[in-house]
Chains A and B, each alone.
Chain A
Amino acid sequence: MAKAVKIILAGEGGQGVQSVAEIIAEAANEQGREALYIPNFGVEQRGGVSVAYLQIGDEPIGAPKFLTGDIVVALSDRAVHRTRQYAGPETVFVYDSGIEGVEDAIPTNAKKVLPIPAIEVAKNELHPRVFNIIIMGAVIKATGVVPEQRAKDAIEKKLGYKFEKNPKLRELNFKAIDRGAELVAGAL
């Protein structure tokens, strides 16, 4: 029996890490898998590093939080500092290659450290708004927790009403999934 895949997503408020975690969790649930997602939350309505804990498996999930992630994704310098504690010998540590000055904070004990140019791709190729969807593509490719099509279905479910008005948005989001997947495909 395979153990649940443990995922940490961390970024600044507004980077959309919680939406990504929620959409992946819902996609997995739709597929009939077990998923558990919990955000960190505190007294600040805004500000602070936003961390999402996500687990996906085929058996009921145990504790909602965990010590070591199978994949840890950090999207800002503060997020790198905050999440390095979740890296272990089996961890793939992903961070945006555009983050500067964090060389010393990147965990040295991770199985693999993977810088990806998600911010750059979002800005130059797609649209800054789909930055988090690129991350989502990267996470599902790296973990295989849900097929890409399932992720797209989940996005459709969530944002379908917007896509109806502007079909180009759908294309943009789906492209972002594909690009995110490509960013990690070569590196893994």
Chain B
Amino acid sequence: MADKPIQGEKRVFMTGNEVVAYAAMAAKAEIMYGYPITPQNEIMHYWTRMAPKYNREFLQTEDELSAGFTTLGGVLAGRKAFTATAGPGNTLMQEPMSMAEAMRLPSVVVVQQRGGPSTATVIYSQQEVTMTTLGGNGEGLRVVYSTSTHQELFDYTIKAFNTAWKYRFPTFVLGDGYQAKMRESLTMYDPEERGIELLPAQPYMGKPGTPGVDRPPSQYRNTYNVEEELYEVLQGYFEDYAKMAPEVAEYESFGVDDSDLVVVSHGVVARACKEAVKELREAGVKVGYFRPITLRPLPEKQLREAAEKSGRFLVAESAQGQLDRLLKEALFGAKVEMIPMYKPGVGITSEEVAARVKSVMG
């Protein structure tokens, strides 16, 4: 039995869902738990086709609550476990992921955003930003990577497992229906051949030896009897998170130093913005481009610098200001005008961004 689905480097042309399945294989994920929902289904389809060949496991559950909680079970047993979901499934997924936050369980969730609220469309949106970054009854103790290309879907799905197991916070790869279904080229690789160390998973439960005899029992809870107990636990988590934030925060930008306006976007919308800003700059327009890759934590320092230099942000997103809200919190007190370009549940083209920039800049 071959143990590696990808050997060497290989240029491929495929859908984003297929990319995610390959990336999880390459990251040495051991088990996937999932429930059907469009537009993420093909992640499960490709995973289940490859799994027996590479000694991996799959369980189709009864709903996303179960997909999330079985994923946590897989993590507790010491396996690299993941799930994928979208839309209303992501809503249900917030319950298990809040437990992952409370108990520092390194679960990985791939989200392919679809229209909302409710069932809405199975097609596309960026309307799961608030929920994916801050969902659950908690404090957003999680990492969220928003990918923009198939290459990034591959790179960041691999990275998500490392981030999760290094820092022990649940980690999300936030894609969308466009990325899920479109085909484009990318280079797949075996991460270890590129010198990327894949952190091993470690069991929380069922470690060697008899509990109480050879070792203390491993006992985990998310319930506390008094307020102070919870408060103290959370202070430790916030400290860990604050320490981690600058290490994991990522962004991409150009032209922010000499611009009167910076276009800020994330995910697939950033492709349109990048194309538009490049063209405008070639035509001599003083406009910049900024894209947070991590939506949680945000690259706050760089965002503030970009805001203060340009004084104006045009925020483009396929949602009614969900990214904008995160940005405003990060930028509180900075002197920057926030100009909205919202198309909830609808794609944004580079033509539209270019036209909007021109109208704003006069």
Contacts and interface: CB of A to CB of B under 8 A. Distances in A.
Q: State if A and B touch, Cβ cutoff 8 Å.
A: yes
Interface of A: 22, 25-26, 29, 34-43, 60-68
Nearest to A61: B184
Most buried by B among A34, A43, A62, A66: A62
A36 B349 contact: no
29 contacts: A25-B13, A25-B183, A26-B13, A29-B185, A35-B13, A35-B183, A35-B184, A35-B185, A36-B184, A37-B182, A37-B184, A38-B182, A38-B183, A40-B123, A42-B123, A61-B184, A62-B272, A62-B275, A62-B276, A62-B350, A63-B269, A63-B272, A63-B275, A63-B347, A63-B350, A65-B178, A65-B347, A66-B351, A67-B352
A38 B351 contact: no
A68 B11 CA distance: 29
B347 A62 contact: no
Given A35-B13, A36-B184, A38-B182, A64 B122 contact: no
Nearest to B348: A63
Nearest to B274: A62
A109 to B, nearest CB: 15
Contact of B349 (A26, A39, A42, A67): A67
Contacts of B184: 34-37, 61
Nearest to A36: B184
B181 A41 contact: yes
Most buried by B among A35, A60, A68: A60
Interface residues of B, number: 28
B178 A67 contact: no
A63 B263 CA distance: 15
Nearest to A22: B183
A21 to B, nearest CB: 9
Contact of B351 (A29, A35, A36, A68): A68
B291 to A, nearest CB: 13
Contact of B149 (A41, A43, A60, A68): A60
Nearest to A88: B351
A53 B350 CA distance: 15
A6 B100 CA distance: 44
Main SS at interface, chain B: mixed
Given A42-B121, A42-B122, A67 B351 contact: yes
B271 A63 contact: yes
A37 B122 contact: no
Contacts of A41: 38-39, 122-123, 177, 181
Interface string B291-322: 00000000000000000000000000000000
B188 interface: no
B111 interface: no
Nearest to A65: B347
Contacts of B121: 42-43
A138 to B, nearest CB: 22
A101 B185 CA distance: 40
B186 to A, nearest CB: 10
Interface string B174-194: 000110011111000000000
Given A29-B185, A37-B183, A64 B347 contact: yes
A62 B352 CA distance: 13
A34 B185 contact: yes
Contacts of A64: 178, 182, 268, 271, 347
A64 B350 CA distance: 10
A40 B123 CA distance: 8
Given A41-B181, A63-B268, A66-B351, 18 more contacts: A25-B13, A35-B13, A35-B185, A36-B183, A36-B184, A38-B181, A39-B181, A41-B38, A41-B177, A42-B121, A42-B122, A62-B271, A62-B274, A62-B275, A62-B350, A63-B272, A63-B348, A66-B350
